Amino acid sequence: MSIRLFASLSAVLLPTLAAAEPATPDLGSSLVSMFFGLAVVVALLFASLWLLRRLSAPRGAAAGMLRVVAAAAVGSRERIVIVDIGKSCLVLGVAPGSITALAEIPRDSLPVDPPTANPAGFAARLKQALDRHAR
Each residue's pLDDT tens digit, 65-95: 778 888 899 989 999 999 888 788 899 999 9
Structural domain boundaries in the chain: 66-109
How far is 116 from 122, CA to CA, in rounded Å?
A: 13
Confidence class for position 1, pLDDT limits 50, 70, 90: low
pLDDT of residue 35: 94
Which helix (H) or strand (E) segment holds residue 11: the answer is helix 2-19
Q: By C-alpha distance, which of 90, 92, 50 is closest to 74?
A: 92
DSSP structure string for 12-52: HHHHHHHHSPPPPPPHHHHHHHHHHHHHHHHHHHHHHHHHH
Q: Which residue has the higher pLDDT, 101 or 113?
A: 101
Q: Which residues have CB under 8 Å from 72's CB, separation 6+?
A: 79, 80
CA geometry: angle 18, 23, 24, nearest 5 deg: 120
Q: Report which listed range, 18-22, 57-61, 65-69, is most confident.
A: 65-69
Amino acid at 129: A
CA–CA dist 51, 107 (Å, integer): 34
pTM > 0.95 = no
